[in-house]
Amino acid sequence: MTTLKIPDLGGASQVEVIEILVSPGDTVEMEQALIVLETDKATMEIPAEAAGVIKNLSVKVGDKVSSGDVFGELDGDASGAEEKNAESAPAAEQKTTEAPVQPAVESAPSPSAEPVAAVDIAIPDLGGSEQVEVIEVQVSAGDDIDAEQTVLVLESDKASMEIPAGQAGTVISVAVKTGDKVSAGDVMLKLQPAAGNAVSAENNAAESAVAEVAPAEKTVQTTVAATAATATIPAADVRSSAAEVHAGPAVRKLAREFGVDLAQVSGSGPKQRITKDDIQRYVKQRLNGEPASVSGGSGIPAVPVVDFAKFGAVSDSPLNNIKRATARAMTTAWLNVPQVTQFDQADITDLENYRKQQNERYARQGIKFSIVPFVLKAIAKALEDFPSFNASLSADGEKLILKHYVHVGVAVDTPKGLLVPVIRDVNQKSVTQITQELTDKAELARLGKLPLADMQGGCFSLSSLGGIGGTAFTPIVNPPEVAILGLSKASMQPIWDGTAFIPRLMLPLSLSYDHRVIDGAEAARFSQRLVMYLQDLRNVLM
**Positions marked active-site:** 515
What residue type is 416 in one-letter code?
Answer: K
Burial tier of 116 (Cβ tally within 10 Å: 0-12, 13-18, 19+): middle
Q: At what angle do helices 371-385 and 431-447 cross, to 10 degrees?
A: 110
Cβ atoms 420, 413 nearer than 8 A:
no
Q: 441: part of which helix (H) or strand (E)?
A: helix 431-447
Alpha-carbon gap, residue 268 to 177, rounded angstroms: 23
Instruction: Using alpha carbons, select from 123, 130, 163, 158 the residue that is nearest to residue 147.
Output: 163
Alpha-carbon gap, residue 524 to 529, rounded angstroms: 9
What residue type is 479 in one-letter code?
Answer: P
Alpha-carbon gap, residue 446 to 104, rounded angstroms: 53
Cβ atoms 464, 487 nearer than 8 A:
yes
Cα 78 off chain centre by: 34
Alpha-carbon gap, residue 183 to 126, rounded angstroms: 7
Q: In what order do the strands lie in the sheet with 169-174?
A: 119-122, 187-193, 169-174, 144-145
Instruction: Using alpha carbons, select from 269, 268, 271 the residue that is nearest to residue 232.
Output: 271
Q: How many CB atoms lie within 10 A of CB 538?
A: 8
Alpha-carbon gap, residue 39 to 37, rounded angstroms: 7
Alpha-carbon gap, residue 510 to 527, rounded angstroms: 9
Cβ atoms 384, 533 nearer than 8 A:
no
279: Cα within 13 Å, side-chain hemisphere: 23
Strand partners, 57: 72
Alpha-carbon gap, residue 314 to 311, rounded angstroms: 9
Cβ atoms 205, 173 nearer than 8 A:
no
Answer positive or negative: Cα dihedral of 247, 253, 255, 261.
positive
Burial tier of 104 (Cβ tally within 10 Å: 0-12, 13-18, 19+): exposed
